[in-house]
Amino acid sequence: MGTRTCVVTGSSKGIGRAIAERFGEDGYQVVINYRSSEAEAQDAVSAVEDAGGTAIAVQADVTDVDAVEAMRDRAHDAFGQIDVLVNNAGINQDVRFTEMTHEEWDTVLDVHLDGAFHCTQAFFDDLADSKEGRFINISSIIGKGGNFGQANYATAKAGIFGFTRTIALELAPEGSTSNCVAPGFILTSMVEDLPEHVKDEIRDDTPLGRFGTVEEIAEVVVFLASDRSSFITGEIIDANGGKDL
């Protein structure tokens, strides 16, 4: 394959940034999407370029359809057709269900589900027209097993599974694929801020006995974006250290 272009939403930090950097190592043209952290996004651009790729940073709140369409136009102006879309943007507002407000419910579902809808709709034609279009969603182990205090997050992440499989069916006639990665507990700022006793419990409950790294998730995503995964579509790829065994 020649030079390929990808959009990674929510990629100024964490898993998204690791994905963007890994694409850079393979020489991709990368659109770094961010909502508010411009300095971190520009730092991610530099990291992608240092890794061997080309990158631009584009601000867009994925819940805003006009902003997403403007991001698509910026991506096209800079790089042309998009070959890979990674829906990674996410948010959590954790609270016990009996105390959860409608706003807390809506905010989380808006980012994960409406955001995925807006971005996928904006780039669907690109993925369908690409010689090997790749659509990849980032979900979570929480979408499979639920989690106390995360009814909104678990519901949103579970919804991504059905969305992934439906888009797989609709992209298949064009030869493009749609898959999902469901990480377990990964060493990001959200996990690192947990109390030590909670982190110990998670490690004890994970067969591999440790947290995952953002780099490990990025490797799975880049594989799914490559021609090596050309006969895989509609799949939910667990990357959780065996936690749901």
State the catalytic residues.
153
The two structure tokens encoding residue 16: 């998204």
Q: To which H or E segment does residue 133 belong? A: none
Residue 41, φ and ψ in degrees, nearest 5: -65, -40
Q: In whole angstroms, what is the distance from residue 161 CA to residue 148 CA?
A: 20
Instruction: Say which DSSP state 157 is in.
Output: H
Selection from 47, 14, 11 nearest residue 31 by Cα: 11
Cα 2 vs. chain centroid, distance in angstroms?
Answer: 23
Q: In whole angstroms, what is the distance from residue 66 CA to residue 64 CA?
A: 6
